[in-house]
Each structure stands twice: as structure tokens, then as C-alpha cells.
Structure 1
Amino acid sequence: MTASNRRVVLSSDHSAIALRQAIAGHIAAQGWEVVDIGPTTPQSTPYPEHGAAAARLVAAGDCRFGIILCGTGQGIMMAANKIRGVRCGVCSETFSARMIRQHNDANMLSIGARVVGEGLALDIVDAFLAAPFDGGRHGPRVEMIAALEG
């Protein structure tokens, strides 16, 4: 993987700052280049803005993957998926994290900071980042998803 393909953008709302920072340190230690776009203060902040900002970096090709977090992971994931070219899934266990990469070629992962603890979150991130897209029969299905963007 080239250096540019080792960039991961991280973003969250106020509820997930600590978990986002733990993930950032964890993946940086594995050699990933982390682009952490915040926030850094605990004041309430709107998750749609943070999900969309990270998704735009992934869609533009500035980052290979995105990892986003909010309380449940659901709202920020919905916002990210509004950006053309983004395929983001929310995961609370490792099997789904692997499958969204292998079968759906997901380029973003969403995690609920109020749903999973730090240890499990790091395992989910590892499963997501390590899983390759299987291609094959899944390729045309991913193309069908992209075609729905209009």
C-alpha cells in the first residue's frame, strides 16, 4: 500500500472525543497516517457536520478510509452516506466490520461510542482496516449501489 493509501480521516461529535483519540493513537502506532479533524472540546457539536467533513475527504481521495463516531454511530453514518462515493457502515462487532469491507467495499466505518467500549472498538477498527475487498461477484453489487447515487 502506498503512503497516500495509508491515510485515515477521523472525526466525531462531542460524545466520542476520547474514543476517537484512542483509535487515532492505535492506528498511528500501526503505521497509518491519521488526519484527525476533531472536535477537541466537549461542547455540543452537530454530528452531521463532522460526518460530512470526513466523508468529503474520503470521496475526494485525500484519505483512503474514514472512521467516524457519535453516540450510537448511526446519525454520523447517515450524514456520511449522503456524500457521493461514500459507503459507510456502522459496526458494533468485528464480523460486520470485515464484511462491509469484503463484500461492500466500504470506505468508511462508523462506531457508537455509547455502544461499544474502547477494547472492542479497537478490534472493530483493526478488522475493518485489515479486510480487503473481495471483488468478484461483489463488484457488480457495489456498482449498483454507486448507480443509486444518480
Structure 2
Amino acid sequence: MKIALINENSQAAKNSIVYNCLHTVAQKKGYEVYNYGMYGIENESQLTYVQNGLLAAILLNSKAVDFVVTGCGTGAGAMVALNSFPNVVCGFAAEPTDAYLFSQINGGNAISIPYAKGFGWGAELNLELLFTRLFDEPMGGGYPKERVIPEQRNARILNEVKNITHRDMLTILKEIDQDFLKETVAGEKFQTYFFENCQVQEIADYIKGIL
């Protein structure tokens, strides 16, 4: 599994903490983590939680990654932003049980975490436990186990509804404010990580064209 980490500007200083916790868990599972920032360094390209949504959608729709870990101060803004895009199902998790139930019941491809609210003593421990439970079992396994069939059916129906209510990603990239798009993909590591892993050539070509 390829996992992207995306932090928005207000929580950029915590990027290394989140990355270290995520990497520790992912490494044990044999997963790869790509840190798209923000990194909390001087003069880096800014990412708002809205841009988190756009960047996550680009990565997931191009199959550059399989899962996105993001968040903001409360975790709510980033979750709403990600869910506004096609083929993105983002949950919210403040603690390990949230993460586990989302992974098993909803089987989504992104999680948003609060990095300001309640982020105090033991925050690193909570994050590591959260990521452990998030990736503990294959996504969509069901909880409780006897409800696996209706839960998988509901997740499939939700994806079908999103296909109807959302436009395709390439159309969105062409019609969204192009300056906003350029700012979103201007991160230090974006080109290195994205073009190496992107599996949808049309999206790669369009992004190349605007950079």
C-alpha cells in the first residue's frame, strides 16, 4: 500500500511528529509513506485544508497512492474538503477506535485527524495506536463481523452515488482556478513523488502542463 501524508498550513509544525508515527506503523506492514508536506520549513508552498482536498483527490484519482492521511486543527475541515471530490471517501478519527471502525465499516481511502484540538500529552502515542488500528485489518472487513455483507453493500452504493453526483477528476482540474491548482501542486516533493507513482497518464500530462 502507498500512503500519502498531507498537512495543512496551520499544523505544518507537527508534520514530523505525524510522519514518524505513521512511518513506524507502515514500515511494520511493508507499506510506503510519501510525505507531501507541509513540512513546517521556512518559505515552503502553502497548503490550506481546501488544497488538502484537491491534492488528495489528485493523488487518489491518479492512483499515485492508495490511501491519504490528512487533517487540520479540528480534522473536520479537511474531512469535508476531501469528501467534496470524486472517488474520495474520507473519515474522521480522533482516537484508535474511530480509525478502526471507519476502516472496517466504511472502508474508505482517506482519514482526517485533529492536530490541534486535544493534541497534548501522549499525542504521539495516540497517533501511533490510531494508525495501528487503522491499518490493522483489510479495509471494509465489517464490524461487527456478522454485518459485513450489508456494510459492504452500503459502501458500494455510496461509491455509485458519488460517481453520479461528482464529475471526473480531469474535468475538475481543467475547470478549477488554475492559480489555485498550481499552488496546490507546488510542494517541494510533489513532482518527485507524484510523477514516479501516477498511473493515469491524462492526469499526469495535465499537471505537467500547468507546472
Task: Give the shorter-chain TM-score range.
Answer: 0.7 to 0.9
> Whose helix proportion is higher, 1 or 2?
2
Answer yes or no: is 1:144 the counterpart of 2:150. no
CA 1:41/1:95 → structure 2, altered by over 3 Å: closer, same or farther?
A: closer
Give 1:137 deviation, angstroms.
Answer: 2.4
Task: State the secondary structure of the residue aligned to 1:34.
Answer: strand
Contact 2:13–2:40, Cα closer than 8 Å, also in 1: no
Answer yes or no: is 1:25 the counterpart of 2:20. yes
TM-score, normalised to structure 2, is 0.62
> Whose strand proportion is higher, 1 or 2?
1
Answer yes or no: is 1:131 the counterpart of 2:125. no
CA 1:20/1:136 → structure 2, altered by over 3 Å: closer, same or farther?
A: farther
Answer yes or no: is 1:9 the counterpart of 2:11. no
Q: How many pairs were matched up? A: 145
Task: State the secondary structure of the residue aligned to 1:62.
Answer: coil
1:27-106 map, 5 Å: 27-29=22-24, 30-31=26-27, 32-41=31-40, 45-106=47-108
Q: Which moved more, 1:105-114 or 1:122-131?
A: 122-131
Tell me the residue number matched to 2:190. none
Give 1:73 deviation, angstroms.
Answer: 0.7
Percent identity, aligned pairs only, is 22
Contact 2:21–2:127, Cα closer than 8 Å, also in 1: no
Q: Which moved more, 1:52-61 or 1:79-88?
A: 52-61
Which segments of 5 or more consecutive residues in structure 2 lack a partner in the other structure?
142-147, 165-211
Give 1:87 deviation, angstroms.
Answer: 0.9
Q: Give the letter for the 2:108 counterpart.
A: A
Q: Which moved more, 1:103-112 or 1:26-35?
A: 26-35
CA 1:45/1:56 → structure 2, altered by over 3 Å: closer, same or farther?
A: closer
Q: Which moved more, 1:63-72 or 1:18-27?
A: 18-27
Q: Which moved more, 1:8-17 or 1:54-63?
A: 54-63
Give 1:18 deviation, angstroms.
Answer: 3.7
Contact 1:56–1:83, Cα closer than 8 Å, also in 2: no
CA 1:72/1:121 → structure 2, altered by over 3 Å: closer, same or farther?
A: same
Contact 1:10–1:54, Cα closer than 8 Å, also in 2: no
Larger radius of gyration: 2
Give 1:25 deviation, angstroms.
Answer: 2.0
CA 1:48/1:121 → structure 2, altered by over 3 Å: closer, same or farther?
A: same
CA 1:55/1:126 → structure 2, altered by over 3 Å: closer, same or farther?
A: farther
TM-score, normalised to structure 1, is 0.85
Which segments of 5 or more consecutive residues in structure 1 lack a partner in the other structure?
none
